[in-house]
Amino acid sequence: MTQMVRTSAILSVILLLSVQLLHLKMVLAATFVVGDAAGWTFNVAAWPNGKHFKAGDQLVFKYDPNVHNVVAVNRNGYDSCAILPPNAPEFTSGHDQIKLKAGPNYFICGVPGHCEGGMKIAVIAK
């Protein structure tokens, strides 16, 4: 019986510590407004330069939804300014909040000609 109580207490402590670590990770996540005050607009491709991103950080894309959108694409889509893969997630609210995954994250404006005009960013999250 004593062994059972001890095991239960140890499991409770482990569970509590796990919850606290998860909460700490969520608190430490940063939020970045893409393009800063200018928002999601043309010639924003260099915006990530000099910034340090972590998995779980959040990007906020602010733009006029009647004029632009945001599409999360793969590397080929980013390089060619094409919506790749064909089922790539598209965001259209004008105030999109997107959580970064570890590794490369690529975003373009899917309106024809906008990506070619510099409405694309590549963000590497550690």
* 103 conformational bin, left if phi > 0, alpha if psi -120 to 50, beta if neither: left
Q: Which residues span the domain enclosing 108?
A: 29-125
Within a domain: residue 16? no
pLDDT at 11: 56
Euclidean distance between CA atoms 81 and 52, whole angstroms: 24
pTM, to two decimals:
0.79
Euclidean distance between CA atoms 61 and 20, whole angstroms: 30
Q: Per residue of the chain (126 residues), what is the pLDDT tens digit?
A: 566 656 666 656 565 555 554 444 445 899 999 999 999 999 999 999 999 999 999 999 999 999 999 999 999 999 999 999 999 999 999 999 999 999 999 999 999 999 999 999 999 999
pLDDT at 99: 98
Number of domains into which the chain is organized:
1
CATH of the domain at 88: 2.60.40.420
pLDDT at 20: 55
Within a domain: residue 113? yes
Within a domain: residue 14? no
* 71: Cβ contacts below 8 Å, ≥ 6 apart: 77, 83, 88, 89, 90, 91, 107, 108, 109, 110
pLDDT at 18: 58
pLDDT at 28: 84
